[in-house]
Amino acid sequence: MKNHVFFHRVLILIVSVSMILSLTSCAPQKKPVPQTSKSQEEQNKPPKELDELSKAVEKTEKALYEMHERSKLPLFIQQEEIKKQEEKQKKEQGGQEQQNDQESGQGKQSSQVELVTPQAKQVEPQLEIKQMKIEIERANLTQIEQLKKDVIELHGLWNAFEAKAVSQFVMQSSIEDFEDALNNLTKSLDSNNVFQGLLDVTQLYKYLPDFYLTYSSDYPPEIDKIRFAIKKTQLLGEKKNYPAAKEAVDYLTGIWMLTRPKLNKDSIDMINQIEFALSDLNKAIEMQNDTIIKAKTEVILKVADELEKANSKKEQKK
């Protein structure tokens, strides 16, 4: 009898354990949070050397663009712009005393003007124009000298990234083309050619996106190629070099065809805007209408900025 009871208890114990194990195995298991994609994206983000290179290119482009745009203005406005820039630099450097000295000096000059003879007054406007030109030229040369230093720094940043580009198997042609464009920029600044320098720094944006393609970038890098082509079209249109502007737009059309499928569903309206603006831009170049070329390139640049925001991973996470 005792054996029978013992056997019965053991049997119950075995059945109970079996049921517990069965329930445990059937219970929904928490799936481990997939860390691989996030960690891979983190590991594959662009290196700091590439981001620093991009920022330096952007800084150089901005300075050259401001100089180029200023050169289109009347002399007296150019002079005012230069003075504003100099005053801003003085404030940043804490040069308030120098500014006061200049103001007191101007006061002395104004008191002396009353003593100038009528004959001298006739010559005065010509002297003022000449003086303005000298001041503008001096300011431009100072800026170019600073740009030359910036480009030397740019060469250093490029060499720092170049080794990483090779190790990441970036296309050799992109590496060589970027280096050629950087050398051309250096030569243009050596000869104090602001417009050609602006064209050369714009050309760098044709190859920079190729480096970002190797990494997990925030937005499709091809959008920067669109910006490159549109800015080049703008500059060539200004100089009435319509055949070269047409080549730039043909390149833009090809890049656009590659970029469009990579854009998300929120980009439909922007895609349509670029399609229409691109068609109008082609017609404007055929007609050689500078005003329409300027207008349509500005439209595409604006939409390119909107496309970047709409397709930014950072923006989508907000």
User: Would you give the distance in Å from CA 178 to the centre of its chain?
Assistant: 15
Dihedral sign (CA 178, 184, 190, 192): negative
Using alpha carbons only, give the angle 121, 125, 127 rounded to the nearest 5 degrees.
100
What pTM value is reported for the model? 0.74
Q: What was the pLDDT predicted at 192?
A: 94
Interatomic CA distance for residues 94 and 91, integer angstroms: 5
Residue found under tokens 């219970």: 27
CATH class of 47-72+126-215: mainly alpha
Q: What is the CATH number of domain 220-318?
A: 1.20.120.290
Axis-axis angle for helices 172-190, 118-167 (nearest 10) = 160
Provide the pLDDT for residue 30. Answer: 45
In the chain, CATH 1.20.120.290 covers 220-318
Tracing tokens 């720092």 back to the chain, one arrives at: 160
Cβ contacts of 238 within 8 Å, gap of 6 or more? 290
> What is the reported pLDDT for 230?
97
Residues of the chain with pLDDT under 50: 1-8, 10-13, 15, 17, 19-21, 23-36, 103-105, 107-117, 120-121
